[in-house]
């Protein structure tokens, strides 16, 4: 069936300075972006500060812990200005199911205080609250507000599927330990339940009381079945009979019919019918087909949820029965993957098997309409084996991720102004009547790209397409973590292989929720003659690297790309990322060594202009942070500036705390999760933390150091998380 509401493209990969004040930056490339300060959280765990003596930190005193009664991160009470995020369904919230216990740090006889880390789950929920605030902000274009409601819902779905599911699994198996914030696992889980309930209620209220009425004022009416005219109902009955009814399957529950399997994130109707002959009541479940449009057009600019249309015609599904009641519900399951790579003879087959098992993960959340009958709710709770604490009654409609379809309506006056990226000036300068000669440009100078402002298609994509077509190019080596469904990057690599070039592609088939797509690309690349590898056992390859080897006269020259974002043309139009195109021989040699390590057998762990996880990246950054302390003590220029998506690695944070204690100014921009407590006297008064959310998703990772007056800047793929620094291949380039 042709959707009544245009569906958006499949979502790409899926957040504040001193602790007071904020600064608006008018005219920035993101529009009017606000830098939002992160206040201290309201005692995730108290901060116990050691006594100070002669300006130094000693062992903790017996004094009562110092508590900071300030608004929790991301709360409205913090009076933060509303900010703007990306209009994609998944803001890549960096959800990870790691253990995060951490010991107190003692170095040179000085102990950093307990409670110095914010709780990461609370911080993630605060991030998603900031997304919700964008939907609540009347200055945000109206259809973008609808998108932000969908983004919030999509983010929370993934949070429960991965993070909450992982926490429950660790509690159940007894391996969970106290988190770095000082909270016990059960305390964290109960906090998540309570905070999520508050945010979901706000989310529903924003839709019901604010966004839906505002859309109606603009002529876009989201209505329920009872609000339709007879003519509209008749039109939808015809639609139901011809395009919906044939794909519906009612499933009865009785001694002969066990309770049906409920798939994760599916929308369902719980139906109670009565047999008019026997008088017996029966329960049945009807699944709302996920491939049909979420909102159906009843008449021009009037849309009704598909479950309302199905509910109004249940008699068609249960002829001869009396329909007593029906209620909508939605289940979230554990959908994280566990692949035992050491035991997997073939990683591709092992992952495909685990993807099948993902569908049957245990439930972690049950959303129900608040009007649900107690008998029906008790039956669902019992049969799904879910606790009352995991039940979320909400006003309908459930599953507001369907608002992406509304946000895709052709009403440009209700959206952000159209944005068109341009060709980077250093590439445009060498344009001829045909396409730019990327290699000629790189022989002249390095090119630092800033997406989406610099076009991806005329830079990185053109770089690979030119390499594929150039007869002097001998080899291309490429990492692929996520890419689009009709990827021109994959097409270029296939063209290169079919023309006889040596093409190595490292496909990360364990990229979360893109596993199936990456398996397909891996097989397609193999069939074309590319050498496809899957990285190192036990490590996910997340680095964004491309290497082209070209014959130029009697020598070989390497051309390289080191990026912060995926080789994904669609997200490159929505995500803020950096990329370095260079012909620097040291960078090229480093990439050659790293690709050889990933495709063969190599123990190389040091590089010329790369920091590579899991061996050298964390230690390399900490060494540079500590070096800034030395520069500061010697009176030379010193600072630390870090921009990333998540900051939770305790060793990195402790290095920042020590730098702050020494007087080094530290600025951190973190879109999402941040465990740093800024502005604590004696610990972090020189640390400022900001969260930047703009029209485009801030995705670049940048690490800058004053270095005594000779600034050093690194860019790359790594966030400051355990998973990135310990269990992934990540690369930062200088």
Asked if 594 and 445 sit in the same domain, the reply is yes
In angstroms, the first-to-last Cα distance of the chain is 51
98 C-beta neighbours (distance < 10 Å), count: 15
Asked if 548 and 694 sit in the same domain, the reply is no
List Cβ neighbours of 628 (8 Å cut-off, separation of 6 or more).
638, 639, 640, 659, 664, 705, 706, 707
Q: Is residue 151 part of a domain?
A: yes
Asked if residues 590 and 608 have their Cβ atoms less than 8 Å apart, the reply is: yes
Rounded mean pLDDT, 98-121 = 70
Rounded mean pLDDT, 249-272 = 91
- Span 11-33, pLDDT tens digits: 333 433 333 333 333 333 444 34
Q: Is the pLDDT assigned to residue 559 strictly greater than 90?
A: yes
Domain that holds residue 591: 425-604
Q: Is the pLDDT assigned to residue 46 strictly greater than 50?
A: no
Asked if 257 and 128 sit in the same domain, the reply is no
pLDDT band at 90 (very low <50, low <70, confident <90, very high): very low
- Span 412-429, pLDDT tens digits: 999 999 999 999 999 986
Position 29 scores a pLDDT of 40
Asked if 255 and 194 sit in the same domain, the reply is no
Asked if 496 and 536 sit in the same domain, the reply is yes
C-alpha 337/C-alpha 96 separation (Å) is 11
Rounded mean pLDDT, 207-220 = 98
What's phi and psi for 157, nearest 5 deg? Answer: -55, -50
Q: Is the pLDDT assigned to residue 109 strictly greater than 70?
A: no
Asked if 583 and 600 sit in the same domain, the reply is yes
CATH number at residue 284: 3.30.1840.10
Q: Is residue 407 part of a domain?
A: no
Q: Could you tell me how far CA 367 lies from the centroid of its own chain?
A: 22
Q: Is the pLDDT assigned to residue 474 strictly greater than 60?
A: yes
Position 37 scores a pLDDT of 45
Q: Is residue 70 part of a domain?
A: no
pLDDT band at 620 (very low <50, low <70, confident <90, very high): very high
Question: Could you say which of 604, 636, 658 is where a domain stops?
Answer: 604
Asked if 380 and 503 sit in the same domain, the reply is no
Q: Is the pLDDT assigned to residue 85 strictly greater than 50?
A: no
Q: Is the pLDDT assigned to residue 160 strictly greater than 70?
A: yes
Q: Is residue 558 part of a domain?
A: yes
Highest mean pLDDT pick, 3-12, 215-224, 245-254 = 215-224
- Span 679-725, pLDDT tens digits: 999 999 999 999 988 789 999 999 999 999 999 999 999 999 999 99
Q: Is residue 13 part of a domain?
A: no
The continuous run of DSSP H or E covering 272 comes out as strand 267-274
Asked if 570 and 619 sit in the same domain, the reply is no
- Span 292-326, pLDDT tens digits: 899 999 999 999 999 999 999 999 999 999 999 99
Rounded mean pLDDT, 194-212 = 97
- Span 64-83, pLDDT tens digits: 333 333 333 332 222 233 33
C-alpha 628/C-alpha 397 separation (Å) is 54
Candidate list 327, 542, 568, 632, residue with the active-site label: 542
Question: Could you say which of 539, 569, 604 is where a domain stops?
Answer: 604
- Span 110-120, pLDDT tens digits: 678 988 999 99
Q: Any idea which of 161-170, 204-213, 438-447 has the lowest mean pLDDT?
A: 161-170
Rounded mean pLDDT, 525-535 = 87
Q: Is the pLDDT assigned to residue 615 strictly greater than 60?
A: yes
Position 291 scores a pLDDT of 84
Asked if residues 502 and 529 have their Cβ atoms less than 8 Å apart, the reply is: no
Position 720 scores a pLDDT of 97
Rounded mean pLDDT, 23-44 = 39
Q: Is the pLDDT assigned to residue 91 strictly greater than 90?
A: no
Q: Is the pLDDT assigned to residue 261 strictly greater than 60?
A: yes
The answer, yes or no, to whether the previous bond of 614 is cis (omega within 30 of 0) is yes
Q: Is residue 9 part of a domain?
A: no
Position 255 scores a pLDDT of 78
Asked if 436 and 523 sit in the same domain, the reply is yes
C-alpha 479/C-alpha 599 separation (Å) is 11
178 C-beta neighbours (distance < 10 Å), count: 15
Asked if 627 and 569 sit in the same domain, the reply is no
CATH number at residue 584: 3.30.870.10
C-alpha 406/C-alpha 215 separation (Å) is 10
Position 256 scores a pLDDT of 78
Domain count, the chain: 3
Q: Is residue 482 part of a domain?
A: yes
C-alpha 151/C-alpha 684 separation (Å) is 33
pLDDT band at 349 (very low <50, low <70, confident <90, very high): low
- Look up 542 and say whether it is catalytic: yes
Is pLDDT larger for residue 172 or for residue 625? 625
Is pLDDT larger for residue 66 or for residue 667? 667
Asked if 284 and 187 sit in the same domain, the reply is no
Q: Is residue 264 part of a domain?
A: yes
Q: Is the pLDDT assigned to residue 159 strictly greater than 60?
A: yes
Rounded mean pLDDT, 200-222 = 98
Task: State the sign of the Cα–Cα–Cα–Cα dihedral 385, 387, 393, 396.
Answer: negative
Rounded mean pLDDT, 360-378 = 92
- Span 430-453, pLDDT tens digits: 545 566 799 999 999 999 999 999
Asked if 584 and 637 sit in the same domain, the reply is no
What average pLDDT is seen over the chain? 83
């Amino acid at each position: 069936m042709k959707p009544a509401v245009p569906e958006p493209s499949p979502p790409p990969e899926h957040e504040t300075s001193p602790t007071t004040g904020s600064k608006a930056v008018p005219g920035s490339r993101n529009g009017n972006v606000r830098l939002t300060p992160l206040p201290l959280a309201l005692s995730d765990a108290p901060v116990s500060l050691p006594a100070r003596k002669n300006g130094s930190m000693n062992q903790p005193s017996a004094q009562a812990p110092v508590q900071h009664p300030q608004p929790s991160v991301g709360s409205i009470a913090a009076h933060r200005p509303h900010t703007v995020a990306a209009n994609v369904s998944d803001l890549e919230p960096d959800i990870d199911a790691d253990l995060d216990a951490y010991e107190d740090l003692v170095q040179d006889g000085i102990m950093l205080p307990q409670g110095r880390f914010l709780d990461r789950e609370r911080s993630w929920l605060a991030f998603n609250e900031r997304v919700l605030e964008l939907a609540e902000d009347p200055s945000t274009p109206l259809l973008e507000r609808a998108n932000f409601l969908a983004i919030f819902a999509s983010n929370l779905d993934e949070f429960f599927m991965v993070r909450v599911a992982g926490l429950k699994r660790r509690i159940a198996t007894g391996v969970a330990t106290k988190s770095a914030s000082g909270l016990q696992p059960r305390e964290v889980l109960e906090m998540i339940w309570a905070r999520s309930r508050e945010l979901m209620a706000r989310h529903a209220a924003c839709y019901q009381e604010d966004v839906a009425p505002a859309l109606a004022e603009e002529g876009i009416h989201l209505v329920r079945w009872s609000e339709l005219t007879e003519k509209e109902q008749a039109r939808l009955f015809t639609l139901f009979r011809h395009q919906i009814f044939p794909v519906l399957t009612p499933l009865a529950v009785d001694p002969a019919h066990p309770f049906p399997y409920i798939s994760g994130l599916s929308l369902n109707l719980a139906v109670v019918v009565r047999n008019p002959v026997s008088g017996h009541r029966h329960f049945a479940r009807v699944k709302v087909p996920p491939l049909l449009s979420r909102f159906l057009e009843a008449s021009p600019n009037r849309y009704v949820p598909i479950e309302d249309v199905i509910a109004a015609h249940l008699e068609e599904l249960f002829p001869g029965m009396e329909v007593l009641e029906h209620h909508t519900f939605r289940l979230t399951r554990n959908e994280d993957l566990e692949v035992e790579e050491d035991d997997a003879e073939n990683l591709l087959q092992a992952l495909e098997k685990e993807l099948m098992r993902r569908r049957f993960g245990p439930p972690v959340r049950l959303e129900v309409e608040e009007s649900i009958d107690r008998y029906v709710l008790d039956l669902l709770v019992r049969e799904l084996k879910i606790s009352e604490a995991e039940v979320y009654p909400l006003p309908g409609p459930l599953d507001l991720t369907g608002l992406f379809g509304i946000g895709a309506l052709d009403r440009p006056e209700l959206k952000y102004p159209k944005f068109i990226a341009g060709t980077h000036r250093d590439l445009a300068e060498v344009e001829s009547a045909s396409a730019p000669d990327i290699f000629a440009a790189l022989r002249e100078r390095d090119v630092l790209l800033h997406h989406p402002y610099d076009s991806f298609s005329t830079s990185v994509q053109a770089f690979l397409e030119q390499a594929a077509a150039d007869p002097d190019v001998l080899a291309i080596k490429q990492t692929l973590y996520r890419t689009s469904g009709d990827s021109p990057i994959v097409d270029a690599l296939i063209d290169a292989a079919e023309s006889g070039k040596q093409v190595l592609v490292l496909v990360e088939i364990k990229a979360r929720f893109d596993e199936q797509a990456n398996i397909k690309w891996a097989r397609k690349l193999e069939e074309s003659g590319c050498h496809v590898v899957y990285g190192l056992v036990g490590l996910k390859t997340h680095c964004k690297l491309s290497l082209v080897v070209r014959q130029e006269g009697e020598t070989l020259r390497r051309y390289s790309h080191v990026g912060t974002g995926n080789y994904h043309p669609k997200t490159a139009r929505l995500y803020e990322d950096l990329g370095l195109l260079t012909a620097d021989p040291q960078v090229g040699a480093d990439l050659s060594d790293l690709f050889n390590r990933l495709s063969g057998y190599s123990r190389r762990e040091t590089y010329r202009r790369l920091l590579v996880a899991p061996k050298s990246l964390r230690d390399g950054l900490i060494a540079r942070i500590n070096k800034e302390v030395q520069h500061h003590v010697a009176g030379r220029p010193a600072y630390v500036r870090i921009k990333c998506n998540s900051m939770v690695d305790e060793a990195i944070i402790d290095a920042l705390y020590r730098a702050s204690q020494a007087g080094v100014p530290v600025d951190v921009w973190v879109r999402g999760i941040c465990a740093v407590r800024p502005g604590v006297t004696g610990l972090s008064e020189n640390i400022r933390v900001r969260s930047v959310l703009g029209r485009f998703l801030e995705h670049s990772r940048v690490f800058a150091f004053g270095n005594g007056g000779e600034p050093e800047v690194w860019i790359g793929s790594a966030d400051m998380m355990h998973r990135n620094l310990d269990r992934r291949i990540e690369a930062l380039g200088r």
